[in-house]
Amino acid sequence: MEKGMIIDTSSILFSISNKKDIFAAAENSFPGTTIIISKGIMREISRHAKGRGKIAGPAGFAVLIIGQKTGLHIEKDAGYVDAWIVREWRKRHCIVCTNDRKLKKELSDEGAHVVSFTRAGTFR
């Protein structure tokens, strides 16, 4: 089992929208844990940043933060992001942080350690 945490698009955007630093919170709550995201997650965030919805601003800020963040492990992926997250969890058996209910249920049903990021800037 690798000590790592996959953080998905929903959690990153939720944290930025609530003016919280999910990466610092992960480092504080799970010391020594490698934070893992995929290029697909980066693509999803960039796509939101180019949009016109209420999430465009936070997504643009997320792109900047991720670009400046050191120590992130960015994985190549293929296909649908949620499928990559499930495959990666099966391979690594690491923590997964998602605020997506469907993905959380799917992973929890398989026995994954799944957490959500809260408005308070903590994990539950």
Order of strands across the sheet with 95-97? 72-75, 34-38, 4-7, 95-97, 114-115
pLDDT at 103: 97
Per residue in 24-60, pLDDT (tens digit) is 999 999 999 999 999 999 999 999 999 999 999 999 9
d(CA 19, CA 91): 32
Average pLDDT over residues 20-26: 96
Domains and CATH numbers, the chain: 4-115 (3.40.50.1010)
DSSP string, 33-97: PEEEEEHHHHHHHHHHHTS-STTHHHHHHHHHHHHH-SSEEEEP--S-HHHHHHHHHHHH--EEE
What's this model's pTM, rounded to 2 decimal places? Answer: 0.94
Percent of the chain's residues with pLDDT above 90: 94
